[in-house]
Amino acid sequence: MRAGRTILAVATAAGLAACGPGAERPIGQGRSADPVELVGLWRVHAEAEDDDTWLRLDADEFQLWRGAGFVDGGWDASESTLVATAWGRVGEGGAGDLEPGWLVGTHTYRRTDEGWELLDDDGEPLATMTVDGAPEPIPSAVEELARAPDVTDEVRRGLRPPVPLPEGLTSADADRLAGRRWVPAEGSYDTDPHVVLHEDGSWTGSDGCNAAGGHWAVPDGGRLLSTVGPTTAIGCDGAPVGWWLGGAALAGFDGLTLVLLDREGAELGRLVRG
């Protein structure tokens, strides 16, 4: 789940579950890197982005700086695949696409001599990221968000690979998950808590009274990458299915039941088709 925010003023999030242009199918394979090394402040070179564009990746949140503001969002990564979702804008700047296709959605990535590349399905670069300068701080956000984050033990724990999928569970894959609607395996709710894992790598859903959404991918071996946006507490008879999905690092099947687990292998929730 997302770390606590340090932003002083946040613009209203829009289009939580919308899929940005260029979104990829939720798969990634054939590359290997340490996602902890993505944490930092990177100057971005991508189509439709100005030269003074920086991407700050810290724990599970990002700030895409453009001028006197930024796009705020969340991300997750494995050794081969990165998923990212934008929530909203902060400050007077941050103009441009709220959901740039080179970042939002699911992409593979690779190390270069100067930094990183984010790639499309054909392995072609969508964006390059290098260490080069920094944005100017703005009044509506704490100054540290304009600096490279520290790689702390907490950051390393949040991006470490999960434990293996517990025995008795079969690894989930995109073909079995995508395009399907999932509801809590236990309980009966008039409010209809659910999630839908779309084939383009986005997901939408509700805990029964609050809408939620983000992006997802299953790289291999039952590994699950997912993002979930900010939401309010459940104020009705519902179930936190979005938070199960957003907090999960593993996904497996117990028969026809989808089991979501955290990095330590602790069960978060069970879902069935519905």
CATH (domain of 86): 2.40.128
If asked whether residues 153 and 217 sit together in one domain, one would say no
List, for the chain, all residue ranges whose pLDDT scores fall below the cut of 70: 1-31, 93-94
If asked whether residues 98 and 68 sit together in one domain, one would say yes
Q: pLDDT value at position 29? A: 40
Q: pLDDT value at position 231? A: 75
Q: pLDDT value at position 89? A: 93
CA–CA separation, 61 vs 269, rounded Å?
A: 24
If asked whether residues 233 and 141 sit together in one domain, one would say no
Please report the beta strands in the chain, taking only residues with DSSP state E, as ranges in sequence order. Answer: 40-46, 53-58, 61-66, 69-77, 81-91, 105-111, 115-119, 125-130, 170-171, 180-184, 194-197, 202-206, 211-217, 225-226, 250-254, 257-261, 267-273
Domain-embedded: residue 13: no
Q: pLDDT value at position 94? A: 65
The residue written with tokens 């798969």 in the block is 27
If asked whether residues 153 and 189 sit together in one domain, one would say no
Q: Which helix (H) or strand (E) holds 159?
A: helix 153-159
Q: pLDDT value at position 93? A: 67
Q: pLDDT value at position 269? A: 97
Q: Widest CA span of the chain, in angstroms?
A: 55
Between the two ends of the chain, the Cα-to-Cα distance in Å is 25
If asked whether residues 267 and 174 sit together in one domain, one would say yes
Please report the beta strands in 139-218, taking only residues with DSSP state E, as ranges in sequence order. Answer: 170-171, 180-184, 194-197, 202-206, 211-217
Is the Cα torsion angle 31, 128, 69, 101 positive or negative in sign? Answer: negative
If asked whether residues 113 and 53 sit together in one domain, one would say yes
Q: Which domain does 79 fall in, by range?
A: 35-159
Q: Which pTM was predicted?
A: 0.85
If asked whether residues 147 and 191 sit together in one domain, one would say no
Q: What are phi and psi of 196, to 5 degrees?
A: -120, 120
